[in-house]
C-alpha cells in the first residue's frame, strides 16, 4: 500500500537493520535549507591538490577508464606494499586496493565473520559498524568508553567470550577525535594475539594526529587487519579509493569476494592515488590542528568536551536534555550538527565537524554559545 510503514513482504529481514544513515539525513536536510551553518559532514573542506587532479585527468584522457585488476592497479599496489613492508616488516603482510575504506570494512566483515560470531566495538563508533556486523549475521558487543572515551583493556578482556571473533578499533576516532595511546594500542594488540582474535583497525584518520605520533596495532600484532584510504587525507572522499593490508590468507579471501561486490576501485582515481602518496599534506593537517584548538578554546566554558587528539571532530556533551532535542534546536537556528545517538547507545553528546572554512566555523561557534 502506498505510504505504508509496514515492511514489504518481498524484503529480506536484514533490511530491518538499516534505518538510513543519520549523517546522510542531515546531509539531505542541508540541501533544503538556505545558507545553513553546516558542521555535520566529515569531509575535508580544502581543494584536492592540483597534482592529484592532474593525475586523474591524465588517466581519463589516456583511456584508463575500464576495470582494473580487482585488487588494484600494479603501480599503486606496489607503492603501498613497499610502504607497508618498510613500516611493519611482516613477511606475510599483503595489500589490496578497495572501493573506499567502507568497502574494505565490508569485505573484511564478509571474509571473517560467521553468523553468531561476536564483534567487540568501542562505543561511540562510526555509524556503519553495527549495521555491517548485523548484515553478516554477527552480534555487536559494545564496550562503553564514556566519559572521556578512553580505551580500557580490562573492559575488553571482560567482554571476550568463546564466541568473540573480531575486535574493531578506530583511532583516531570518529566521532570523538580520541586517539588511543601507544601503551593502550600495544595492550589491545597483545590481548587480541593472546586470545587468537582478529583485530580490525580502521586507520582512515591516521594523518590527522595533533598531539602524539600515530601508532598502529599492527606494529605489535602481525595478525591485525588494517583498513586505510585516501579520502580524508587528500580531500577525495567521492573518489572511493581505499586499501587494506593484513595476513595474506585474509587479504586473499577478501580479494576473492571483491569481484562479486565492488569489482574494483575506480581506475582513474587509483592512478591519482598513486600520485597522492608522494604529496605532503602537513599544511592541511596543521590547519585542522589550529581549528581544533580554536573551537575548544571557544566552547570549553559552555560545554563539557573531552580533548580530541585527532581526526576533525568534537564530541561535546549537551548542557541538558537529550542530544536529539538539542540538535533539533540547533536546526531551528540554521545549524547542522549530528546527535550522538547516531554513533552510540547514548543520546547525550553531539558531533561537530570542524573541517570547514574559518567563516563557517565562527558562525557555528556563535550559535553554539547561544544554544548553551
Query: Which domains, and CATH codes, for the chain?
Result: 13-48+281-371 (3.90.1150.10), 65-276 (3.40.640.10)
24: cis peptide before it, omega within 30°? no
Q: Nearest to residue 316, comparing CAs of 354, 357, 362?
A: 354
- pLDDT mean over 163-192: 97
Total residues found in the chain within this entry? 372
- Cell readout for 129 is 559498524
Q: Give residue-wise pLDDT tens across range 111-161.
A: 999 999 999 999 999 999 999 999 999 999 999 999 999 999 999 999 999
Burial class of 152 by CB neighbour count within 10 A (0 to 12, 13 to 18, 19+): middle
- Residue scoring higher pLDDT (16 or 76): 76
C-beta of residue 190 within 8 angstroms of C-beta of residue 268: no
Strands (E), 100-233: 118-123, 139-144, 164-170, 198-202, 225-229
- pLDDT mean over 285-313: 96
pLDDT of residue 29: 65
C-beta of residue 323 within 8 angstroms of C-beta of residue 340: yes
- pLDDT mean over 319-348: 94
Res. 7 pLDDT band, cuts 50 70 90? low
Average pLDDT, the chain: 93
Find where cell 580524508 sits: 232
Rounded Cα distance between 263 and 99, Å, is 8
C-beta of residue 105 within 8 angstroms of C-beta of residue 227: yes
Amino acid at each position: 500500500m502506498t505510504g505504508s510503514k509496514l515492511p514489504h513482504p518481498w524484503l529480506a529481514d536484514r533490511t530491518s537493520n538499516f534505518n538510513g544513515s543519520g549523517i546522510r539525513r542531515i546531509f539531505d536536510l542541508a540541501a533544503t535549507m538556505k545558507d545553513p551553518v553546516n558542521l555535520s559532514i566529515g569531509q575535508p573542506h580544502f581543494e584536492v591538490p592540483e597534482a592529484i587532479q592532474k593525475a586523474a585527468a591524465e588517466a581519463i584522457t589516456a583511456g584508463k577508464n575500464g576495470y582494473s585488476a580487482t585488487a588494484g592497479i600494479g603501480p599503486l599496489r606496489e607503492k603501498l606494499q613497499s610502504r607497508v613492508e618498510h613500516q611493519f616488516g611482516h613477511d606475510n603482510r599483503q595489500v589490496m586496493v578497495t572501493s573506499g575504506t567502507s568497502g574494505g570494512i565490508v569485505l573484511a566483515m564478509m571474509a571473517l565473520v560467521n553468523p553468531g560470531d561476536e564483534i567487540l566495538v568501542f562505543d561511540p563508533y562510526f555509524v556503519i559498524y553495527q549495521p555491517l556486523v548485523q548484515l553478516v549475521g554477527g552480534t555487536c558487543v559494545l564496550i562503553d568508553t564514556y566519559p572521556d572515551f578512553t580505551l580500557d583493556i580490562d573492559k575488553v578482556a571482560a567482554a571476550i567470550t568463546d564466541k568473540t571473533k573480531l575486535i574493531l578499533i578506530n583511532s583516531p576516532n570518529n566521532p570523538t577525535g580520541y586517539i588511543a595511546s601507544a601503551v593502550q594500542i600495544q595492550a589491545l594488540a597483545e590481548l587480541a594475539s593472546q586470545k587468537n582474535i582478529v583485530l580490525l583497525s580502521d586507520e582512515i584518520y591516521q594523518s590527522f594526529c595533533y598531539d602524539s605520533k600515530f601508532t598502529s596495532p599492527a606494529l605489535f600484532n602481525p595478525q591485525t587487519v588494517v583498513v586505510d584510504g585516501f579520502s580524508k587525507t587528500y580531500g577525495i572522499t567521492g573518489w572511493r579509493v581505499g586499501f587494506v593490508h593484513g595476513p595474506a590468507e585474509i587479504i586473499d579471501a577478501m580479494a576473492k569476494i571483491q569481484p562479486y561486490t565492488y569489482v574494483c576501485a575506480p581506475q582513474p582515481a587509483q592512478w591519482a592515488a598513486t600520485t597522492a602518496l608522494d604529496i605532503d599534506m602537513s599544511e592541511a593537517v596543521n590547519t585542522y590542528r589550529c581549528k581544533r584548538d580554536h573551537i575548544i578554546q571557544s566552547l570549553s566554558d559552555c560545554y563539557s568536551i573531552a580533548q580530541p587528539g585527532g581526526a576533525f571532530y568534537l564530541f561535546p556533551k549537551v548542557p541538558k536534555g537529550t542530544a536529539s532535542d538539542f540538535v533539533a534546536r540547533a536546526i531551528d537556528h540554521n545549524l547542522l550538527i549530528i546527535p550522538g545517538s547516531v554513533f552510540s547507545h547514548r543520546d547525550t553528546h553531539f558531533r561537530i565537524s570542524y573541517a570547514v572554512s574559518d567563516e563557517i566555523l565562527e558562525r557555528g561557534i556563535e550559535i553554539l554559545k547561544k544554544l548553551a
